[in-house]
Structure 1
Amino acid sequence: MSIDLNKYKTIVFDCDGVILDSNITKIDSYFRTAKKLGATNEQAQALVDHHVQYGGISRYPKFVWYIEEVLQQEATKEAVQEYLDAFSLAVSKGLMGCKVADGLASLREATKDANWLVVSGGDQSEIRELFSKRELSALFDGGVFGSPDNKDEIFKREQANGNIKMPALFIGDSKYDYESSNRAGLDFVFLSDWTDVPDWQQYCRAHQIHVCKNLNSLQS
């Protein structure tokens, strides 16, 4: 089943695994952050496993969970910030080298009447700086948004202020991407090439989710 992209007034993109081939970079950065701050290999892997299980969700609650549930410590504001700072440092260099999705420019040309946004679980200021450096910002005339606000909050706010006009499409690669877009009333396409969801095929079948391999196949 093909998708009529021209019917959408707004197209929203996740970042990691959709615009950038960065899921492996994020996984490696979680592991290295935990190790840098004293974790055993098992503790670091527990953080990675939690990150993959809750793909598309902000790093903030993931580190709270890790400190409280794995380290059995109090997740003070200072403790969480230490992990956030270390993670940001670890991930920033890797993101500069991640591959940008083929077909992004041609999709922009094919949907030039649509408003484009990024709604990501990644840190908002980090993504905006990265997109500026990699000359991607101009593609997203509706803006680039991320944590600490979660996707449900961003969708609600941007719909209320008229930035997301319906009908709208969200292009993502995680379960939370589908769930948040479904709650907001957006259509959804799952991109499979770069996803780190281990059971994505079963999940997409169960929820009758439209799947494309990548942005190029979305246009074919």
Structure 2
Amino acid sequence: MPKQIDLAKYKTIVLDCDGVVLNSNQTKVDAYYNTAKRTGGTDAQAQAFVDYHIKLGSIPRNDKIRYYITEILKQPFTDALFQKLMDTFTVILDETLMQCEVAPALNALKQKTAQAKWMLMSGGDQEELRKIFPRRGLDHLFELGIYGGPTKKNEHLARMIADGTIQFPALFIGDSRFDHQASTGAGLDFVFLSDWTDMPGWQSYCAEHDVTVAAHMHALVG
């Protein structure tokens, strides 16, 4: 059981997308692998791309694709190759994000936190998320908006705390090391959802840093 969390005290709740709102972590892994393969990469290069993606967690894909070109393919960076990889990834992901599971307790959590305003904050591409969430009928849950890459989460958080969009006390619900570091670094409380995470060694990380863990949203709703 997670530590008791008083959801009623929060004015703002920030939710990660992959592994929290959507069961899409494996979807993203497959998209990185298939992007490499579809653009001529070997199996080994595709797997190295996946490994780097998992290692970095919720970092915008622009940085991962740049790394893939220069460090895995060992090619000079060009805008044309970068765009080809970005476009291929987008096509693959658009189809799969429309199909993956939504957290079953999402609406129950929204009802339980009626006093708070919600915001989605993802490492995924912001423009893409702002197209997909309305198509999935989920955009209305996030009164404060939907935010993603290429801007990093800590940068979004800093800006929206400064302009008053994020009101405290605030809670971030995530499933990666970067979610924890970005949110607590900005002064938000944090809960780690474990059931859908693809973070290697999350148990030891959460124990070491005394992170509150819940298996899934049902555990938060009670």
TM-score, length of structure 1 as denominator length: 0.98
**CA distance in structure 2 between the aligned counterparts of 1:196 and 1:188, rounded to whole angstroms:** 18
Q: Is 1:163 aligned to residue 174 of structure 2?
A: no
How far apart, CA to CA, are the structure 2 residues paired with 1:20 and 1:208? 25
2:106 corresponding residue in structure 1? 104
Matched, 1:22 2:24: yes
Report the Cα offset of residue 128 of structure 1: 1.1
Match of 1:13 in 2: 15
Q: What's the secondary structure of 1:157's corresponding residue?
A: helix
Per-residue CA deviations over 1:168-201 (Å, capped at 9, x if unaligned) read 0000001110011111111100000000012110
Shift of 1:160: 1.4
Corresponding position of 1:173: 175
Match of 1:40 among 39, 42, 66: 42
Q: Partners of 2:186 and 2:220 in 1: how far apart?
A: 22
2:124 is paired with a residue of what secondary structure? strand
Q: Which residue of 1 aligns with 2:189?
A: 187
Cα drift, residue 145 of structure 1: 0.3
Q: How many residues align?
A: 220
RMSD (Å) for aligned C-alpha atoms: 0.7
Code of the residue aligned with 2:166 in structure 1: it is I
1:76 positional shift: 2.1
Alignment of 1:129-140 (within 5 A): 129-140=131-142
Report the equivalent of 1:72.
Answer: 74
User: In structure 2, how many angstroms separate the alpha carbons of the residues matched to 1:188 and 1:79?
Assistant: 38
Task: State the partner residue of 2:205.
Answer: 203
Q: In the alignment, which residue of structure 2 is the partner of 1:153?
A: 155
**1:77 positional shift:** 2.2
The structural deviation recorded for 1:78 is 2.2
SS at match of 2:86: helix
Structure 1 residues without counterparts, runs of 5 or longer: none
The match for 2:129 is 127
Identity of matched residues, %: 49
Q: Normalised by the size of structure 2, how large is the TM-score?
A: 0.97
Structure 1 residue 148, shift from structure 2 partner: 1.0
SS at match of 2:171: strand
- Please state how far the C-alpha of 1:219 moved relative to its aligned partner: 1.7
Deviation at 1:125, TM superposition (A): 1.1
Runs of 4 or more, structure 1, over 2 Å off, are: none
Q: Gaps (5+ residues) in structure 2?
A: none
3-state SS of 2:13 partner: strand
